[in-house]
Amino acid sequence: MSPDWIVPDWPAPARVRALATTRAGGVSAPPYDGFNLATHVGDEPAAVIENRRRLRSALPAEPLWLTQVHGTRVVSAEASGSGSEADACVARSPGRVCAVQSADCLPVLFADLAGTAVAAAHAGWRGLAAGVLERTAAAMAVAPKELIAWLGPAIGPAAFEVGAEVREIFCAADPAAAGAFAANERGRWQCDLAALARLRLARAGVTRVFGGGWCTYSDPLRFYSYRRDGVTGRMASLIWLV
C-alpha cells in the first residue's frame, strides 16, 4: 500500500478494511498526475488500467466501480456489476469492495458495529440535499445507533463557494443547516460539506462520525480537485469486509 494513502482512524470492527487513495503512487501524466482511477476524465486508458492494477494489489477483489450521477441510488455490491448508475453501494459478504470516486465531493464510508455490513457513498451538495447519506444508512438495514461513519477528503469551507439557492435548499429542509454556511464579501456563501453531512447523519440517527478535515482544493500535491483544476483525476474511497 502506498504510504500516502489514508487509512481511516475510526473504531471499526476487526472485519472491516478501508482506505482512501491520494495522487501518490500512480503513472498518469499531467494534468492527471499521478494515481488517477477514473476512466471518464480523459486520461490515457493504459495509465488508468495500471493505476487500478496497483490498487487491486491492496484489495481482495476488483472494486465495484459505479457510474456516479450525484443522485441517491444505493446498490448491492453482491447483486450489481461495475458501471451501475448509483452513488452508493452496500456489501455484506467478505471480499466485496465498495468504492466511490471523488475530486471535491465528500466520500462517506459506513460500517456497522457488528461487522456485518459496510457501505460507501458519494456526497456532493446535490447528493447531500437529496438524501444520499440517509438512503445509504437505511440500505444497511441495521439500527442507526449501530452504525459508524467516516468522512474522507473533500473541498473545505474556505474554498467551496455556493450561491444563495444552495443554502436555501438545505435550510428549508433543516434550519440548523444555516450553521454550515458563512457569508462572504461577494454576496455568496462558503459551504461546509462535512458539517452538512454530520447534520444529515445525526438526523438519521448516525451520531458516531469520524474523519473530515482534509481539503482537496487547498492541497494540490496530495489531492485532485475539480473546482481548482477543471481537468483532473479522481481518487477513490474503498471499504470491504474480510
Map out the domains of the chain as residue ranges.
16-155+205-241
Q: What is the pLDDT of residue 178?
A: 97
Q: How many residues does the chain have?
A: 242
**Helices (DSSP H) in 140-220: which residue ranges?**
164-173, 193-203
pLDDT digits (tens, 9 = 90+) for 140-168: 999 999 999 999 999 999 999 999 999 99
1 pLDDT above the threshold of 90: no
Q: How many alpha carbons lie under 13 Å from residue 190 in its C-beta half-sphere? A: 10
Q: What is the pLDDT of residue 2?
A: 63
For residues 45-50, give the mean pLDDT: 98
pLDDT band with cut points at 50, 70 and 90 for residue 97: very high
% of the chain at pLDDT higher than 90: 96
For residues 195-201, give the mean pLDDT: 98
> Could you tell me which residue, 213 or 82, shows the higher pLDDT?
213
Q: What is the pLDDT of residue 82?
A: 84
For residues 14-38, give the mean pLDDT: 96
State the fold for domain 16-155+205-241: CNF1/YfiH-like putative cysteine hydrolases (3.60.140)
Mean pLDDT of the residues in the chain: 96
Contact 90, 116 (CB under 8 A): no
pLDDT band with cut points at 50, 70 and 90 for residue 3: low
Which value, in Å, is the radius of gyration of the alpha carbons in the chain? Answer: 17
Provide the angle, in degrees to the nearest 10, between the axes of the packed helices 193-203 and 132-139: 40
Q: What is the pLDDT of residue 81?
A: 85
pLDDT band with cut points at 50, 70 and 90 for residue 212: very high
For residues 182-204, give the mean pLDDT: 97
Nearest to 26 by CA among 18, 17, 14, 34: 34
